[in-house]
Amino acid sequence: MCGIVGYVGSRQAAPIMLDGLKRLEYRGYDSAGIVVCSGEGLTLCKTKGYVDHLSDMVCNGDALRGTVGLGHTRWATHGRPSDENAHPHLSDGGKIAVVHNGIIENYAQLREMLVAKGVTFRSETDTEVAVNLISYFYKGDLLKAVAEAALRLEGSYALGILCEDCPDMIVAVRKESPLILGIGRGENFLASDVTALIPHTRDVIYMEDGEIATLTKDEVRVYSRDLVEIKKETARVEWDISAAEKGGYEHFMFKEIMEQPEAIRKTVSPRLRGGRVQIEGLDFTPEYLKSLKKIYLVGCGSAYHVGVVAKYNMEKMLRIPVETALASEFRYSSPLVDERTLVICISQSGETADTIAAMREAKRLGAKVLSIVNVMGSTIANESDYCVYTWAGPEIAVATTKAYSTQLAVTYLLTLYFAELLGVIPDDEYKKLVEALSELPEKVDEILKNKEHIQYLASLYFNKDNIFFIGRNIDYALTLEASLKLKEISYIHSDAYAAGELKHGTISLIEDGTLVIAMASYVRLLEKTISNIVEVRSRGAEILTLTTKSAEAQVSRVSDHVIAIPDAEEMVLPSLAVVPMQLFAYYVALSRGCSIDKPRNLAKSVTVE
C-alpha cells in the first residue's frame, strides 16, 4: 500500500529510484513520482499511472540530475489518483518534499490549523498536511522539525523527507507503516520493502515505530521519538535478487505458483527432524495447551482462508474449540479472549493494518499471540509472542499463491505439534501425517506438470459472467480461496458456497450454462457433494469437479469435466486442491487480457483500515 524508495550517495539518484519503484509497484500503482535534490534545490516529477509512464517522462531518470532523492508509487486513500495527488508533495514554498505511506487521521484539524496560519494546499491528500507541518516547525534543523511534527501526527505513516537546505541528507520516520534502511558503501537507501534494496545491499536496518532516521552517503543514524540516538542491529537479507525478479516468466503470479513445491519444502523440511515436528522458538507445554479454552485464527483475505482450513483440521484433531475471525471484524467485536486463548495471526506481509490491530487487541486482552508471517522483521513478526516464519521468499504478485500454500503448511505443522503435546494423536497416525507432509512438494509438482489440462479448461470457461464454487468441510474452505483468486485477477463475479447451503436460496441463480465448480477432494463426504452436484446439474449447470484420482471415475458420471489431484491424507489435501484453482484463475485472467500481477484497485499489502 504505497511504496517508498530513497537514495543518498554519489550515483545519479533517479534511475536507482525508478528501478526501486518498479520493484515496489505491487504495493500500489495508480500514480508515481520522484524528487531529487541537487545543489540547486529540489526537482520533482510525478504523474498519474504506472512507473513506466513516469520513467518515460524523465527519460529513464536522465532528465533529473542529483545524487539524493525520494520516490513513491501510490495506492490512493485521500484524493483520487491524479497528477496533483501523486507523491512527492512539496511544502508551501517548495523547500521540503515528502513521500508518505499510511494515513494521517487528524489531517483535517491540522489542515485547518495550517490554513489559518496562511499555508496554501494544492492537493486533496493527507500527506500535504504532513509536509506543511514539518515546514511549520522547520527553523533550520530538519531532524528536529520532523520530530516535532511526528508528535502531532495521528494515524500511520512512513515518511521520507528531503529539504533543499540540507541537500545531502534524507530524514525518515515511521509509525505503523514499514520502513527499512539499506546500508551500502558510500551510499545508503530507504525503502518500504527489501525487494527495492536487494539489488544494492543485503545489509538492512528495520525501523520500528516512533523511530526517526537520518541518512547521508556516509552514515545512517536512528533516533527515538525524543531524539536520543539508538544503536540498531544490522540484519542480513538471505535471499538473492533472482527471488524478486520474473526470471523469464510472463507474470510474477505464474512464477510464484510454480515455486510452490520449493517454498513448501523450505517451510516444512527444517521443521521435520527425526520424524517429529520441531518448530524453532516454540516452547509450549502440555499444561498450557490443556489450559486453553479456545484457539482463534485471525487474518484477512487469503490469510483468513488459511485459517478456515486450519479450523477444520485443528478442531478435528485437538478437540479444542477453534474459531476463525476476519481481522477487521475481530478487533471491533468484543471478542471473548483472555489468557486461556491462543490467537494465531496469519499474514504474508506482517504489515496488514487490521491484523496488526487484532494482534494488539488480543495481547491487550491477555492472550498469547502466535503469528505465521512471511516477511522477516515485519510488525506482526516482531510484536507477536511467537512467530513461525513461512519460507516462501518474496511474493510480488498481488494475488497470493505460494504464501497461502506455505501458511497452510505451517498450520499442519502446528496441528501436529499441538496434537503430540496434548497426547491426542496415536503414534501411527502421527507418522502417517508427517510422511504426508514431507510428500507434499512432490505431489504439488505432479499437479503443476499437468497445467495444460487446466489451461484447456480455462479456455472453455473464460467468458463466463458468473461462477459458483461449492464444497463441504475443507473443500468449502477451499472454495473461499478459489473464488477470491478468480475474482481478484479475472474480474469474473463468483461466489463460494457450502455445498449443502445452496438450496437455501442461492440455487435460484442457477440456470442453463451456469458454471459450478465443485470441490470434492474430501472423499469422506463425496456422496453428499455428489448429491449437491446433481441438484445443480438438473437445473442446467455445467459442472467442473475437482477430486482425487481414486474418486475420479465416480464424479465423472455427474460432471462435464474433472480435475483429478493425487490422493493424500485428508489433512494435507487442501495444499493439493488449491493449486489447480490458482492455475485456473491465472489462465482465465490471461485469456481475458487482465493485468494479472497488478489487478485493478488492489495493492499487495493493505496497511490501512
Contact 515, 458 (CB under 8 A): no
Residue selected from 303, 499, 517, 563 as contacting ligand AGP according to rule CB under 6 A: 303
Q: How far is the C-alpha of 464 from the C-alpha of 560, rounded, in Å?
A: 15
Q: How far is the C-alpha of 277 from the C-alpha of 413, rounded, in Å?
A: 6
Taking the least distance from each CB to ligand AGP, the nearer of 159 and 398 is 398
Please tell me which residue in 2, 45, 387, 594 is annotated as part of the active site.
2
Helix, strand or coil for residue 563?
strand
DSSP per-residue letters across 204-216: EEE--TT-EEEE-
Residue selected from 92, 211, 383, 488 as contacting ligand AGP according to rule CB under 6 A: 488
Taking the least distance from each CB to ligand AGP, the nearer of 25 and 488 is 488
**Residue 2 annotated in active site:** yes
Q: How far is the C-alpha of 440 from the C-alpha of 443, rounded, in Å?
A: 5
Please name which of 546, 555, 549, 590 lies closest in space to residue 455, comparing C-alpha atoms.
590
Among 19-27, 194-202, 262-270, 299-307, which window interacts with ligand AGP (CB under 6 A)?
Answer: 299-307
By CB under 6 A, tell whether 605 contacts ligand AGP: yes
**Residue 604 annotated in active site:** yes
Please name which of 520, 524, 521 lies closest in space to residue 534, comparing C-alpha atoms.
520
Taking the least distance from each CB to ligand AGP, the nearer of 334 and 601 is 601
Please tell me which residue in 175, 485, 598, 604 is annotated as part of the active site.
604
Q: How far is the C-alpha of 605 from the C-alpha of 351, rounded, in Å?
A: 7
By CB under 6 A, tell whether 192 contacts ligand AGP: no
Closest distance of CB 400 from ligand AGP, Å: 4
Among 50-58, 136-144, 395-403, 411-419, which window interacts with ligand AGP (CB under 6 A)?
Answer: 395-403
For residue 74, the 8-state DSSP code is: E
Residues between 271 and 290 that touch ligand AGP (CB under 6 A): none
Taking the least distance from each CB to ligand AGP, the nearer of 92 and 488 is 488
* Angle formed by the axes of helices 573-591 and 474-490, nearest 10°: 20
**Longest alpha-carbon distance in the chain:** 79
Contact 9, 186 (CB under 8 A): yes
By CB under 6 A, tell whether 161 contacts ligand AGP: no
Closest distance of CB 437 from ligand AGP, Å: 22
By CB under 6 A, tell whether 307 contacts ligand AGP: no
Residue selected from 494, 606, 607, 608 as contacting ligand AGP according to rule CB under 6 A: 606
* Angle formed by the axes of helices 260-268 and 402-422, nearest 10°: 30
Closest distance of CB 428 from ligand AGP, Å: 35
Contacts 24+ apart (CB under 8 A), 218-227: 218/186, 219/188, 220/181, 220/183, 220/188, 222/181, 223/143, 223/147, 225/147, 225/150, 225/151, 226/147, 227/143, 227/144, 227/147
Residue 57 is placed in which grid cell?
A: 517522462
Q: How far is the C-alpha of 512 from the C-alpha of 539, rounded, in Å?
A: 7
Residue selected from 31, 77, 302, 532 as contacting ligand AGP according to rule CB under 6 A: 302
Taking the least distance from each CB to ligand AGP, the nearer of 6 and 350 is 350
What residues does 547 pair with on adjacent strands? 520, 564
Closest distance of CB 166 from ligand AGP, Å: 36
By CB under 6 A, tell whether 45 contacts ligand AGP: no
By CB under 6 A, tell whether 300 contacts ligand AGP: yes
Number of residues that bind ligand AGP (CB under 6 A): 15
Closest distance of CB 489 from ligand AGP, Å: 8
Helix or strand run (H / E) with residue 296: strand 294-299
The residue with its CB nearest to ligand AGP is 301
Question: Which residues, 6+ apart, have CB-to-CB distance to 116 below 8 Å?
Answer: none
Taking the least distance from each CB to ligand AGP, the nearer of 138 and 391 is 391
Closest distance of CB 236 from ligand AGP, Å: 23
- Number of Cα atoms under 13 Å in the Cβ half of residue 513: 6
Closest distance of CB 2 from ligand AGP, Å: 15
Residues between 398 and 417 that touch ligand AGP (CB under 6 A): 398-400
By CB under 6 A, tell whether 301 contacts ligand AGP: yes
Taking the least distance from each CB to ligand AGP, the nearer of 195 and 302 is 302
Closest distance of CB 347 from ligand AGP, Å: 3
Question: Which residues, 6+ apart, have CB-to-CB distance to 339 below 8 Å?
Answer: 366, 367, 368
Residues between 324 and 383 that touch ligand AGP (CB under 6 A): 347-349, 352, 355
Taking the least distance from each CB to ligand AGP, the nearer of 204 and 373 is 373
Among 235-243, 298-306, 503-511, 523-531, which window interacts with ligand AGP (CB under 6 A)?
Answer: 298-306
Closest distance of CB 490 from ligand AGP, Å: 12
Residue 561 is placed in which grid cell?
A: 469435466
- b vs e for 570-585, b when ≥16 Cβ sit within 10 Å of the residue's Cβ? bbbbbbbbbbbbbbbb
Q: What distances in angstroms separate CA 282 from CA 246, 349, 370, 413, one per listed residue? A: 35, 21, 9, 12
Taking the least distance from each CB to ligand AGP, the nearer of 352 and 532 is 352
- Residues in the site for ligand AGP, rule: CB under 6 A? 300-303, 347-349, 352, 355, 398-400, 488, 605-606
Residues designated as active site = 2, 604
